[in-house]
Amino acid sequence: MDGSAKPRVVSPAPKKVVRPTREKAMEAVKTLLAWAGDDPAREGLIDTPRRVADAFEEWYGGYGKDPVEELSRTFEDIEGYDDIVMLKNIDVESHCEHHMAPFIGSAYVAYMPTKRVVGISKIARVVEIYARRLQTQETMTAQIADAINNALKPAGVAVLVDAEHQCMSTRGVRHHDVTTITTQFTGLFKSDLNLQNRFMKLAGYG
């Protein structure tokens, strides 16, 4: 995507669904415990449905947050700054949509400002919002880039996510210490290979 290309439209959140009550969610956990072969009524598991519901509210809290809103407060007084703004080693703690298993790693996000910048904590917050939803790593990487691209209208955006998927390390092929790297580039980061390589080197992958 070059600087003049029309950015893709990013929905602030997936299509709204009718959420069951907390009580129904806890009953579902009891069903899964029994299906696994254990007794939901035994002492060690009595409070497990409540704890799982609490954990889900935290793990999937991104559904109730709007990344566009996080990026809405910008600053236009950048005094001629026209180089990379980059955040490294942003913690990524997410769950894949296929097995609801965790994938954990780091994100590296950069953009080339034109007329405005955003507080650096907001970039990390956008990563966190998308991470706290069910999706694939590829989708999350693209969503982060698109949100920044649409909100800030920069000259380019670069996103790299490096994560280990427990659906691969704890089940199936059971390969440990294998990580998945995904990237998304827009604008100058896509058209200028020297700039793209510079980002990769700054991220430690060059």
- Active-site residue, selected from the candidate residues 23, 57, 98, 175: 98
Catalytic residue check, 196: no
- Active-site residue, selected from the candidate residues 23, 57, 69, 97: 97
- Active-site residue, selected from the candidate residues 95, 128, 135, 137: 137
Catalytic residue check, 176: no
- Active-site residue, selected from the candidate residues 95, 128, 135, 165: 165
Residue 28: which H helix or E strand, with range?
helix 22-36
- Active-site residue, selected from the candidate residues 167, 176, 184, 196: 167
Radius of gyration for the chain, computed over Cα atoms and rounded to the nearest angstrom: 20
170-189 b/e (C-beta count within 10 Å ≥ 16 → b): eeeeeeeeeeeebbbbbbbb
AA identity, residue 105: G
- Partnered with residue 92 across adjacent β-strands are 105
Catalytic residue check, 165: yes
- Active-site residue, selected from the candidate residues 99, 135, 143, 166: 99
- Active-site residue, selected from the candidate residues 96, 128, 135, 196: 96
Catalytic residue check, 95: no
Catalytic residue check, 97: yes
* Number of Cβ within a 10 Å radius of residue 105: 20
Catalytic residue positions, numbered: 96-99, 137, 165, 167
